[in-house]
Amino acid sequence: MKERFAKETDQECRARRLFLKQATLMLGAGLAAPAMANARGEVVDISHIPVDGVGTLTFQGQPIVIVHRGKESLASLEQDQGQLADPSSLHSQQPKFADNPWRSRVPEWLVMVNICTHAGCSTRFETQMEQGGGGFFCPCHGSRYDAAGRVLKDQPAPWNMEIPNYEIDVERKQVHLISTQPVKRLY
Ligand code: FES
């Protein structure tokens, strides 16, 4: 499955190429993702995020986490749905394209607003969680989420974490962040 960015102007295209050429690529576990602002959001280079690696950045004042999910994390998303508070994300915030078990446009890549829905702390991605595969842990009060940001049952956090509006170009290894605006803030 492949998603293309919306058509860009020549000027935007040149600016993006120049930025990507000059950027110091420091992606990996917990490192900041290089991003370039343009009129429609930000283009983020994800080429150096390894499998099971994480990139982070701030977009529109919100912490964003980008995870390159490995096979084990992907497999865990379709297993043990009974452990999740809202497995189909019926009560959570995500664009229509993320209405799937991966909560993303492309299964391998998760792009998420990294705000715990309990009291707003940032979570951290761990490659091995008790439920199997990777997932997110909130250090503030211990909420646990799966590798798609879906909260487990009986946690302090009530909802799954939010998915922003974005596009992804898998061949170019770029994410185009468009908006973090939720339909309505749940917490
Ligand atoms: S803020 Fe995350 S568990 Fe309380």
Give residue 1's pLDDT band: very low, low, confident or very high (50, 70, 90): very low
- Give whole-number Cα distances, 166 to 10, 108, 140, 176, in Å: 21, 15, 28, 5
Residue 138 in domain: yes
Q: How far is CA 186 from the centre of its chain?
A: 18
Q: How many domains, in total, are found in the chain?
A: 1
Residues with CB under 6 A from ligand 1: 116, 118-121, 138, 140-143, 156-157
Nearest of 176, 180, 182 to residue 39 by alpha carbon: 176
- Taking 80 as the threshold, does the pLDDT of residue 25 lie above it? no
Is position 5 within any domain? no
Q: Within a domain: residue 106?
A: yes
Amino acid at 23: A
- How high is the mean pLDDT of the chain? 82
Query: Model pTM greater than 0.75?
Result: yes
Domain assignment of residue 132, yes or no: yes
Confidence of residue 35 (pLDDT cuts 50, 70, 90): low
54-59 β-sheet, strand order: 31-32, 54-59, 62-68, 109-113
Does a structural domain hold residue 133?
Answer: yes
What was the pLDDT predicted at 113? 97
Residue 92 lies in a domain: yes
Q: Is the residue at 167 inside a domain?
A: yes
In the predicted structure, residue 181 carries a pLDDT above the cut 80: no
Determine the Cα–Cα distance for residues 173 and 51; give it in Å rounded to an integer: 13
Domain ranges, residue 117 = 10-179
Give the mean pLDDT of 19-42.
Answer: 51
Instruction: Find, among 53, 95, 62, 178, the residue nearest to 103 by Cα.
Output: 95
Mean pLDDT across the stretch 41-65?
95
Q: pLDDT tens digits, residue range 124-164?
A: 999 888 767 789 999 999 999 999 999 999 999 999 999 99
Ligand 1 pocket mutation pick from 113, 137, 141 by most atoms within 8 angstroms of CB: 141
In percent, the amount of the chain with pLDDT more than 70 equals 74
For residues 156 and 118, the answer to whether their CB atoms sit within 8 Å is yes
Q: Please pick, among 68, 91, 141, 176, the residue that the annotation labels catalytic.
A: 141
pLDDT at residue 165 in the model: 95
107 is a domain residue: yes
Whether residue 141 lies in the annotated active site: yes
User: How far is 35 from 56, CA to CA, in rounded Å?
Assistant: 10
Count of residues in the chain: 187
Q: Separation of 8 CA from ligand 1 center, angstroms?
A: 39
Residue 36 sits in a domain whose CATH number is 2.102.10.10
